Amino acid sequence: MIAQFQAQAARLSGQSLRSLFDADPARMARFKLDAAGLTFDFSKQRLDGKALDAGLEAARAAGVEAFRDAMRAGEAVNATEGRAAQHMALRGKESFFALGQPVSHEIAATRARMRSFAEAAIAGQLEGWEGRPLRAIVHLGIGGSDLGPKLVLEALRPLRRPDLEVRFAANIDGAEITDALAGLDPRETLVIVVSKTFTTLETLANGAVARAWLEAALGPAAGAHLVGVSAAPQRAIAWGVKEDQVFPFWDWVGGRYSLWSAVGLSCEIALQTGVFDQLLAGAQAMDAHFLEAPEARNAPILGAIVQTMNRIGYGAQSYCLLPYARRLALLAPWAQQLEMESNGKGVTLSGAPLIQPAAMVTWGGVGSDVQHSFFQFLHQNLQSVPCEFLVVLGPGEGPADHRTHLLANAIASAEALLVGKPAQQALAEMRAAGLDASEAERLSPHRAFPGDRPSTMIGLPALDAKALGALLAYYEHRTIAQAVLMGINPFDQWGVELGKAMAGLAAGELRGSAAPRPHDPSTQYWLGRARA
């Protein structure tokens, strides 16, 4: 499979992107498609019909569709942990199973509990609250238990309840939980502790601070203000959450795929009635597309082929995610965890070392801000970095002219990466502006742009809950399809464990509760400094 991508890249590497447009009048139609209300334009990627056919052949050989169908059926596609990966069930309307066991009824029951709890909270009718209104939520989680809800609530800010503040604390840096609680009234605050295992160090440490804060102000009533979300509900209860305020999710849901479960309780409460349901509906629409669309017109599969071609065909080490929408500022960090934790693996499912890295580094920022920070790197750096632009095509917030300039910047930036500016053009422009000939000659290399830099454009009809749900589900499915192409497991994350385990040992040494261990000189020095 790797050889197929590399062979196509070698064939195309001498051709400019503009020449691919010239050679194929139907290129735009071939590489543009609509899915779940979104529009995807892959035409500025370095692919042609033959390369696309090779990518589709590789997807068939790798079993992308078979893996997809096994995932939908609830089989143990998470082979290293013996689990299903049934995040589609969390937003699906049909019957779903996990390892042969029905799960849809329990999902529906949990969703009904979430909705009922949200309604009671908004109405000031939570048991034990003495009729006080809910004014603030403090959401405690880390990784997938934090990034998804935070992204959704920022992206859909205009659809939030205006009288309800939501704060997040993830980091174990004490400044974060201090800031999250500062100025809030415990009598009107709900603390939601989200941890799949309910053993996560950062989350439980922050949770202990928040629990003590509630207890100091409310005494025995503090428990009414504490909610747990976990796949280990008994641990949450043992930690101090009332049994009727523990919301489950399940071991067949990976943390970074868990937004759609009770992990999204903060969203269910903080968003206006029905908005969270629309988010689920958008994701379900993309699920249906992924499951039903033919592979040649399947957006996640084509997206995975593009990513794989850029990584192993052209050797791109990273790609840049560029939403031209201020409210999607947290999209890149969310996608970073999804893609790099899922596919940042070193071995195949069989345990054999990978010949080529499976994933690119995901990074990015919000346009047009980033045009004034790292676009210098994108345009003139020696290494070409594939870019992914996102634009919202519906009405924007604020003055209409702002929308015009924002879209113009996004569309023009993608075109500028494609066409560039040769040194001779820069020279001619400076001469036409009246610059001295020798000075224009001297400056022309600095004002030249190589161009021929690939990008994808994704259009959203509006930044509403349904479009956002479809977009996030697209990234989930693309990540999984790319993993199948590379023969790796996108659902485990053993790579995060070593540092956490060693941190626990180091903390014991710093506290003096564990005997010092031998270390390299650098580690020994910094442990000594930390004790001082």
Provide the annotated active-site residues: 341, 372, 500
389 backbone dihedrals φ, ψ, rounded to 5° = -95, 140
8 A C-beta contact, residue 458 and residue 411:
no
Residue 301: name the closest of 482, 169, 66 by CA. 482
SS3 96: coil
Q: What are phi and psi of 208, to 5 degrees?
A: -65, -40
Q: Look at the block and give the residue holding tokens 């968003």.
A: 271
Question: Are residues 409 and 446 in contact, defined by beta-carbon separation less than 8 angstroms?
Answer: no
253: β partners: none
Q: What gap in Å lies between CA 404 and CA 171, rounded to an integer?
A: 38
Q: By C-alpha distance, which of 232, 233, 235 is closest to 246?
A: 233
| Tokens of residue 109, six digits | 């029951």
Instruction: Dump the DSSP string for 51-62.
Output: HHHHHHHHHHHH
Q: How far apart are CA 305 and CA 29, in angstroms?
A: 17
* Distance from C-alpha of 499 to C-alpha of 203, rounded to nearest angstrom: 17
Q: State CA 127 to chain mean position distance.
A: 35
**How would you classify the pairing of strands 38-41 and 136-140?**
unpaired
| Alpha-carbon gap, residue 282 to 271, rounded angstroms | 16
Query: What SS3 class is residue 454?
Result: coil
Report the C-alpha gap between 188 and 173 in whole angstroms: 25
- Residue 91 per-residue DSSP state: T
